[in-house]
Amino acid sequence: MNSLKIDEDLREAIMTRPDVILDDKELMQALIAANERAMGGNIVDLRGIAMERLEARLDRLEDTHRSVIAAAYDNLAGTNQVHRAILRMLDPVEFESFLQNLGGEVAEILRVDAVRLILESAHTQTDPSVKRLAHVLSVAEPGFVSAYLGENTGVPVRPVVLRQVQDAEASIYGQKADWIRSEACLRLDFGKGRLPGLLVLGAEDPHQFSPQQGTDLLGFFAGVFERAMRRWLA
């Protein structure tokens, strides 16, 4: 029986650089398959089985590696995003400009569809300045923040609450309430003797904020915001 002969030029190229074949996954699989056919069906190739298992394990490791890199990239991108928002938030030197900027460029940097600041106060009469800033600022009665976050249920509530919403609160979002599907609620502490506040970030995307996500970056953002507000409230 005549056996097939490899082309001399191809044979010489392989002999010169055998690593090319070793680095080619598909070519190595073809050679292993050809070797198994040559051995016949009555022989169990333990080495081939071991290689298959190693390949499967390598594929899983590569998938994990890609996932870790993607997560690290997302975390870095999120960190840069929050840092840019903080720097922009601290630019204004007047309180009204500070709040206008919060609902404008800061919201754009954070890629949210609505930003609302709720301040608790024993005096809820509508001030002219509050009317001008109604798209970003509202005043509520004492206890509103705890009730909105669900603290009255007896379940401990974290400083940052991420959740999906079906019927967004119109008193907070106004005309945008019908489109808001997820929100981040940042509880604000303005210091001893002051009532708390709440900074709410609303998004039309129902998956932008969910309880499974981390809150470290938003917690940092809330901490900076608290300190900025204390300067204005002093």
DSSP H helices in the chain: 8-16, 19-22, 25-39, 46-89, 95-101, 107-110, 128-132, 144-149, 170-173, 216-233
pLDDT confidence of residue 26: 77
pLDDT confidence of residue 127: 65
Q: In whole angstroms, what is the distance from residue 141 CA to residue 118 CA? A: 10
176 secondary structure, DSSP code:
G
Tokens of 99: 């709040």
Is pTM, for the whole model, over 0.75? no
pLDDT confidence of residue 107: 92
Nearest to 99 by CA among 139, 142, 132, 148: 132
The number of angstroms, rounded, from the C-alpha of 186 to the middle of its chain's C-alpha atoms is: 16
Q: Strand, coil or helix: what is 162?
A: strand
pLDDT confidence of residue 87: 92
| Domain ranges, ordered by start, for the chain | 93-233
pLDDT in tens, 185-200: 999 998 888 899 999 9
pLDDT confidence of residue 57: 78
User: How many CB atoms are closer than 10 A to CB 190?
Assistant: 18
Q: Are 115 and 106 in contact (CB under 8 A)?
A: yes
pLDDT confidence of residue 208: 92
pLDDT confidence of residue 191: 86
Q: In whole angstroms, what is the distance from residue 221 CA to residue 52 CA? A: 49
Say if residue 6 is exposed, middle or buried (CB neighbours under 10 Å; 0-12, 13-18, 19+): exposed
Q: Are 120 and 88 in contact (CB under 8 A)?
A: no
Residues 6+ apart with CB under 8 A from 5: none
Query: Is 93-233 in CATH node 3.30.450.40?
Result: yes
| Helices and strands counted in the chain (H then E) | 10, 5
Q: Write out the H or E segment, with its range, that includes residue 53.
A: helix 46-89
Q: In whole angstroms, what is the distance from residue 161 CA to residue 112 CA? A: 15
pLDDT in tens, 6-53: 778 777 777 887 777 777 777 777 777 776 666 665 555 556 666 677
What are the Cα distances from residue 216, in Å, to 42, 63, 147, 219?
60, 26, 23, 5
Tokens of 121: 């106060």
Q: In what order do the strands lie in the sheet with 197-203?
A: 137-140, 114-120, 197-203, 182-188, 160-164
pLDDT confidence of residue 175: 87
Using 50 as the pLDDT threshold, list the residues of the chain that sit under it.
Answer: 1
Q: Residue holding tokens 């669900």?
A: 150
